[in-house]
Amino acid sequence: MDKKTDIFSLTFEKLAKRLIENDFPKFRSQQIFKWLYEKNLFDFSLMTDIASSERERLKSMFDSGLNEDVKVFRSRIDSSEKFLIDFKGSYVESVLMPSKERVTVCLSSQTGCGLKCSFCATGRNPGRNLTSGEIIRQFMHMALKSKERITNVVFMGMGEPLLNLDNVLEAIEILNCDKGIRIGARKITVSTAGIIPGIETLTRFPLQVKLAISLNSAIQSKREELMPIAKKYDLKNLKRALINYQDAKNKRMTFEYILIPGVNDSVSDTRALFEFAKGIDCKVNVIPYNPVDKKFRAPTKRETADFFEKLSPLKDAVTIRESRGRDINGACGQLAGKSIFQEEIK
């Protein structure tokens, strides 16, 4: 028997095409998307506006069960919840972050990451790419648990999204689809360590998703030490790609800057940051480092405030991201191995 297709991996157009090829009426795809993503009902047997003989055929063609084993952990410092999802032995972490104004989810794109950033736990375990279906399944598990409708999505979980671009873009289409989940493209952020070919593909991608760059240093040699991928994609070429992206999308982007005391917090670091940011409409998110081992330490409140002061020429464009569940995943990754989520919710 043929392997069933994961229904969550299919964009609306792909599902429609598959159904038409198999002699289903054209409007079935619309009905199925409605059941899955509006009514959150996944069992074909219960899709009552579809003829029962067709429901049996759908069951034999598609896997629509949301059957993964999921553990949910509560944050000790805010209302965030971490979901640990078992995709057949590959453990993936996602975070649900409700706040007054919005409900954000942080999704993983890979089961680890091979980029070996020196400050990151995820980067020590190269994993595999997640399928578009596995990305959407993360979203659906959190959507079922969330009290409010999810409004924002950030690809800042485990992995480098631009190294799994086909599946990430497909997942973005499903998230954005007006027949299904309906997350506005401007509410979706993709965070990258600076994979230039991926940024170029995103520049041509028709949806207006937001871009975040895990920068961490604007000094080439230092960035290479922190993020070895910077040897391949250097700051000069990265800046060129970012300016092209901005010219095409006309949207403000974010630089994520993990603050590590004694490493990237000096006056020459801020000077390099100003220089790099020149000509780019951006904001800078400063993220006080969360240690994963003894190599680097966390900044004190004083050190963070001092750095903020040094960035004062950027004025309103600087934020410090503290005390939110998302901080445990830094700019992209840093999610694995964190102890902030301790108590499992039964």
Which residues of the chain form contacts with ligand SF4 (CB under 6 A)? Answer: 113, 115-117, 120, 122-123, 159-160, 193, 214, 330, 332-334
In terms of CB distance, is 113 or 282 closer to ligand SF4?
Answer: 113
In terms of CB distance, is 194 or 299 closer to ligand SF4?
Answer: 194
* Contact between residue 66 and residue 141 where contact means Cβ atoms under 8 Å apart: yes
Compute the least distance from the CB of residue 169 to ligand SF4, in Å: 18
Compute the least distance from the CB of residue 220 to ligand SF4, in Å: 17
Structure tokens at 105: 């989810």
Compute the least distance from the CB of residue 17 to ligand SF4, in Å: 34
Q: Which one, of 303, 314, 306, lies nearest residue 278 by Cα?
A: 314
CA–CA–CA angle 200, 95, 44 (5° rounding): 90
Compute the least distance from the CB of residue 144 to ligand SF4, in Å: 26
Compute the least distance from the CB of residue 228 to ligand SF4, in Å: 9
Terminal-residue alpha carbon distance, the chain? 37
* Contact between residue 214 and residue 331 where contact means Cβ atoms under 8 Å apart: yes
In terms of CB distance, is 176 or 216 closer to ligand SF4?
Answer: 216
The span from the CA of 264 to the CA of 304, in Å, is: 11
Q: What is the CA radius of gyration of the chain?
A: 21
What separation in angstroms does the CA of 110 have from each of 52, 85, 199, 225?
38, 13, 18, 23
In terms of CB distance, is 277 or 332 closer to ligand SF4?
Answer: 332
What separation in angstroms does the CA of 49 have from each of 35, 52, 55, 317?
10, 9, 10, 51
In terms of CB distance, is 122 or 189 closer to ligand SF4?
Answer: 122
Which residues are marked as active site? 93, 332
For residue 67, the 8-state DSSP code is: -
In terms of CB distance, is 115 or 153 closer to ligand SF4?
Answer: 115
Q: Letter for the amino acid at 281?
A: D
Residue that the structure tokens 């992995």 belong to:
159
Q: Which residues contact 331 (CB under 8 A, 6 or more apart)?
A: 156, 191, 212, 214, 215, 216, 256, 257, 258, 285, 287
Compute the least distance from the CB of residue 134 to ligand SF4, in Å: 17
Q: Which one, of 157, 166, 253, 234, lies nearest residue 201 by Cα?
A: 166
